A = this chain, B = another copy of it.
Amino acid sequence: MLEKVSLRFRGSCMMLMQRSGDSVEFLGSCFLVRSSGYLLTTARAVATDAELLAVPPETDDRYPSLTRNEVDPIPVEIVAVDREHDIALLKLQPDLKIQMPADIIGEPDETPRGAALMSIGIPFGYYRVHTVLAPGSVLAGRARTANGSRLLIFDRRVQYGDSGGPLVRVSDGSVIGIVGGLFDPEHFGGVQAPEGVHVHPNFSYAISIEYASELMTAQGI
């Protein structure tokens, strides 16, 4: 099942980068949501004036070099941003026709606690190396932030660079959220650990995909 879902998302999760002089800088992950080239990511990842680029992963299964530095970026533009809920809708500039399922959007509210999940992202920005799956996780809970944003909490430690990737329900391969980051207990008002207790949270949160659906509907896509 995981292998199948993994193949379904093969190639659809990309690195998001910005042009910086002659080189490019890694910003996080993003993923294809429509065959016409629309991408989703977080709003915070695109809070820049620089030119945005997406870099698709290698889709063959060889051993790419860890020391290779060239990338093959595709220009993207910002279509719409929902800063309140931290969602951004982008579009690949070349008019590509990509093979992918018509609708990968799932139903976060209908996903029960304990449902198997996997998140996909590009930890540490390893181009050509891996679009990594983090399976073995379940929906641990839901929460609403101070500004009303709906969050999905899952019991898996995401890494730097994973932010902006999809949170996928394994049973049907649908996307139920956009990965935000680690679920830091202090930031979200949890109980503070006593002095001397070291906290390394291994929970992460995703922004409910509903906000992305609303953003796309508002754009007529």
Mostly helix, strand, loop or mixed at chain A's interface? loop
Residues of B within 8 A of A3 (CB): 112-115
CB-based closest 7 A-B pairs: A130-B141, A6-B114, A125-B191, A124-B190, A124-B185, A136-B136, A132-B140
Scan residues 191-220 of chain A and give those whose CB is less than 8 A from a CB of chain B: 191, 193, 197, 199-203
Residues of B within 8 A of A2 (CB): 114, 116, 138
Scan residues 168-186 of chain A and give those whose CB is less than 8 A from a CB of chain B: 185
Q: How far is the CB of A9 from chain B (nearest CB, A)?
A: 9
Return the contact of A129 from the options B131, B133, B143 (Cβ within 8 A): B143
Q: How far is the CB of A181 from chain B (nearest CB, A)?
A: 10
In the complex, are the beta carbons of A141 and B113 less than 8 A apart? no
Residues of B within 8 A of A190 (CB): 123-126
**With A114-B6, A133-B155: A124-B61 Cβ-Cβ less than 8 Å:** no
In the complex, are the beta carbons of A201 and B141 less than 8 A apart? no
Stretch from A76-84, A87-95, A157-165 contacting the other chain: A157-165
